[in-house]
Amino acid sequence: LTGLRKNVPPHVESAIHRALEKIPADRFASASQFAGALAAAGPAGRPRRRAPLPRILAPLVAVALGAGLLAGWVLFGRHQAMPAPYRRWSLLLPVTAPIALTGPGPLGAWQSALALSPDGEVLAYVAPHDGTTRIVVRSLGQDTTVVLSATEGAYHPFFSPDGKWIGFFSGNELRKVPVAGGSPVTLLKVDRPVGAVWAARDSILLMEHEGFNLRWVPTSGGGSDSTIALTNQFGTPDLLPGGRWAVGQLSSGQLATLSLDDGRLEAITRRGVLPLDSVKQADLLMGASPKWVASGYLVFGTGDGVLMALPFDGARRRVLGQAAPLLAGVRMEEGFGYTEYALAQDGTLIFVPGANQNYGRIAFVNRNGTLDTLPFPRGSYTQLRLSPDGRRLAVQRRDALMSGEVVVLELETGQRQRIAVEGNYRTFPASWSPSGAELLIGLWDPIQFLNHGARLYTLGGVPLFDVRIRGASYMNIAPNGKDFVFSDWRTGELFLRSLQGDSTRIRVPGRGFAASFSPDGRWLSYGSTDGGIAVSPVPPTGAVYQVAERGQQPLWSPQGDRVIFRDGRRFFDVAVSTTGGFRVGRPQLIAEGPFVRTFAWNHSIAPDGRLAVVVALPERSLRELVVVTGLPGELGRVAPRRD
């Protein structure tokens, strides 16, 4: 107030600030307390002494002042209201309705568990219920929690611009439900959604098909208005000013903007906003779940659960400063790192405390389910590949900004060797040669979902030859050392091909990913596109055998008598026989725990049958959330803009 009118006494300004607090416990308990604070000067000021107001008039003065404040709000608009002070406090959810993190979305990836209404007054989150989930709404200004009926299976809630509706996914459907309660409305069927945002023009921007399709969905129902096919995966969208562009992330973790008119993508980098094909390694600005703040910033998650602030002109799509840490200790999910926070237009932010679930310790899972942790620091490890003799583990390791490199870990000595790859590539260890003397390294575009083949390296880091192939994923060298199997990353079609020489592709029946050879090279197991585990003979005969109805990323035991696979955070094995045909037993649970789960290989098998895995930190309380108010002022302090 004193910034607008210099003669307002300090104690009056303090009293009004307290009267406007969002949390009831922080306000005055009664109008008489408010009036008393207005009448009595505090220690910070020395106003001219006045006779105290008669007790009978004090409530009337308070009511009149409150009415005047309300009238001013209506007449002059909310934008002239005093900014909320920067505060941080904990919100405890009911014992009967904790938050259900990641929800039942595909692999738990790209999905959020909470949302804030645009005015910052109402929280919506997903809570567990009888083996599934439901949406719960809670007022931040009152201690009231309401379960929205008929929202079973809900994940990824988001608000309408007027705060009256909540959109959400349930199974393979996009739905909406009134915040005040009522029957949900199904809008349309969806295919592997990776985010949605409710636009002001009564339509919902939907990213589906794992981020390769942009769709506009009318909120009145009746199907999709239009669909635009993208060349790269794009998820976690948030609208920028004007409604013609969205900000989000690519599957590589690179921040990006998306044209909602034609699907054009641009990278948000350290050098500014650039075309995707002109980005170099030094330009990378990796992050997850970026959100636009009206004061001119992007907020996004990165590293081990850190929220960053980036000065950004949303209307002109221009970077206006350096990214700087804003908050630490924020939970980020596995896969593509969806950051569990929500942001309102008034600058209120709420987040789930925790860490990056992609970070963990490398350990062995024994046959009895116990863990032996290896002496390597906690970090972001993925694409685990054990050498045939079990002495070395090749991994992709990401740093705080999520830029990856290939590292070979010596399990006996604890030494680490980085494999330097020449060229502007994002790299990962694909497969060891049968001798264990060479490592096949996959070569990808730094930020785009474009595979440029692979390169075979010696353990000394000497390149031997390139495998020229496009669009391949999950490459695995056969036991004969001459052939390899791979999947088309778009269609899931499986192929066999020679490492050198003949580039003819041999089609394997069925569709799937993460194929692995049996020890004798006569069989392939893979995670089929229908969600189960399948096996096909080599050379292909057309036969496809189902091993399990659910599961991903199967491996063979060293003896070839079992198939080991994961299903979420659980590992199973199933006995198989390949003598005189193919026979399969029933899957048996090996272990269940906080194992990191992503689309890449997160486990590998040793010669003694143990599994190398990555173990995340145990879950923190699922009842505690953290609320932050007054964010615009804090953003300006930690990350100054250069307008």
Question: What's the rounded mean pLDDT across residues 601-612?
Answer: 95
Burial grade of 263 (CB within 10 A; 0-12, 13-18, 19 or more): middle
Burial grade of 448 (CB within 10 A; 0-12, 13-18, 19 or more): buried
Q: How confident is the model at residue 23 (pLDDT cuts 50, 70, 90)?
A: low
Q: Which residue has the tokens 């998650």?
A: 301
- Helix or strand or coil: residue 61? helix
Domain boundaries, the chain: 10-80, 87-357+621-638, 359-615
**What's the pLDDT at 26?**
57
Q: Which of 99-103, 266-270, 466-470 is predicted least confidently? A: 99-103
Check pLDDT > 50 for residue 508.
yes
Specify the higher pLDDT residue, 12 or 200: 200
- CATH class assigned to 87-357+621-638: mainly beta
Check pLDDT > 80 for residue 407.
yes
**What's the pLDDT at 60?**
34
As a whole number, the mean pLDDT across the chain is 86
Specify the higher pLDDT residue, 26 or 611: 611
- Output the furthest CA–CA distance in the chain (Å, rounded): 104
Percent of the chain with pLDDT over 70: 84
Q: Which residue has the tokens 């996009």?
A: 174
Specify the higher pLDDT residue, 49 or 407: 407
**What's the pLDDT at 13?**
58
Q: How confident is the model at residue 569 (pLDDT cuts 50, 70, 90)?
A: confident
Specify the higher pLDDT residue, 256 or 109: 256
**What's the pLDDT at 192?**
82
Neighbours of 541 (CB within 10 A): 9
Check pLDDT > 90 for residue 20.
no
Question: What's the rounded mean pLDDT across residues 347-353?
Answer: 96
**What's the pLDDT at 316?**
96
Contacts of 291 (CB under 8 A, 6+ apart): 238, 247, 298, 299, 300, 341, 343
Q: What is the pLDDT of residues 523-551, one digit of tens each?
A: 999 999 888 999 999 999 999 999 999 99
Question: Of 162, 192, 161, 199, which Cα lies nearest the Cα of 174?
Answer: 192
Specify the higher pLDDT residue, 317 or 49: 317
**What's the pLDDT at 491?**
87
Q: How confident is the model at residue 401 (pLDDT cuts 50, 70, 90)?
A: low
Q: How confident is the model at residue 201 (pLDDT cuts 50, 70, 90)?
A: confident
**Measuring CA to CA, how many Å separate 184 from each of 155, 158, 202, 217, 629?**
14, 14, 17, 16, 31
Check pLDDT > 80 for residue 140.
yes
Question: What's the rounded mean pLDDT across residues 472-492?
Answer: 93
Question: What's the rounded mean pLDDT across residues 496-522?
Answer: 95
Task: Retrieve residue 166's tokens.
Answer: 């909540």
Q: Which of 33-37, 69-73, 96-100 is predicted least confidently? A: 69-73
Question: Of 133, 129, 186, which Cα lies nearest the Cα of 156?
Answer: 133
Taking the C-alpha atoms of residue 375 and residue 267, their distance in angstroms, rounded to an integer, is 37
What's domain 359-615's architecture?
6 Propeller (2.120)
Percent of the chain with pLDDT over 90: 65
**What's the pLDDT at 17?**
56
Sequence letter at residue 464: L
Q: What is the pLDDT of residues 142-177, one digit of tens each?
A: 888 999 999 999 999 999 999 999 999 998 899 999
Check pLDDT > 70 for residue 305.
yes
Top-ranked range on mean pLDDT: pick from 18-27, 389-398, 420-429: 389-398
Check pLDDT > 80 for residue 33.
no
Q: What is the pLDDT of residues 171-188, one digit of tens each?
A: 889 999 999 999 999 999
Question: What's the rounded mean pLDDT across residues 205-227?
Answer: 86
Specify the higher pLDDT residue, 84 or 69: 84
Taking the C-alpha atoms of residue 411 and residue 593, their distance in angstroms, rounded to an integer, is 23
**What's the pLDDT at 448?**
77
Specify the higher pLDDT residue, 264 or 405: 264
Question: What's the rounded mean pLDDT across residues 393-408?
Answer: 81
Task: Quote the radius of gyration of the chain (alpha carbons, Å).
Answer: 28
Specify the higher pLDDT residue, 275 or 43: 275
Specify the higher pLDDT residue, 423 or 640: 640
Q: What is the pLDDT of residues 238-250, one digit of tens each?
A: 999 999 999 999 9
Taking the C-alpha atoms of residue 116 and residue 114, their distance in angstroms, rounded to an integer, is 7
Question: Of 208, 275, 201, which Cα lies nearest the Cα of 243?
Answer: 201
- Helix or strand or coil: residue 460? coil
Check pLDDT > 70 for residue 77.
no
**What's the pLDDT at 479?**
98
- Helix or strand or coil: residue 131? coil
**What's the pLDDT at 110?**
54
Question: What's the rounded mean pLDDT across residues 597-614?
Answer: 92
Question: What kind and span of H or E run contains 573?
Answer: strand 570-577
**What's the pLDDT at 599?**
75
**What's the pLDDT at 609?**
95
458 contacts 464 by C-beta, under 8 angstroms: yes
Say how many Å lie between the first and final Cα of the chain, rounded.
27
Specify the higher pLDDT residue, 281 or 77: 281
Check pLDDT > 60 for residue 50.
no
Question: What's the rounded mean pLDDT across residues 91-114?
Answer: 77
**What's the pLDDT at 252?**
83
Q: What count of Cα atoms within 13 Å lies in the side-chain half-sphere of residue 96?
A: 4
- pTM of this prediction? 0.79
Question: What's the rounded mean pLDDT across residues 552-563?
Answer: 96
Burial grade of 12 (CB within 10 A; 0-12, 13-18, 19 or more): buried
Check pLDDT > 50 for residue 62.
no
Check pLDDT > 50 for residue 80.
no
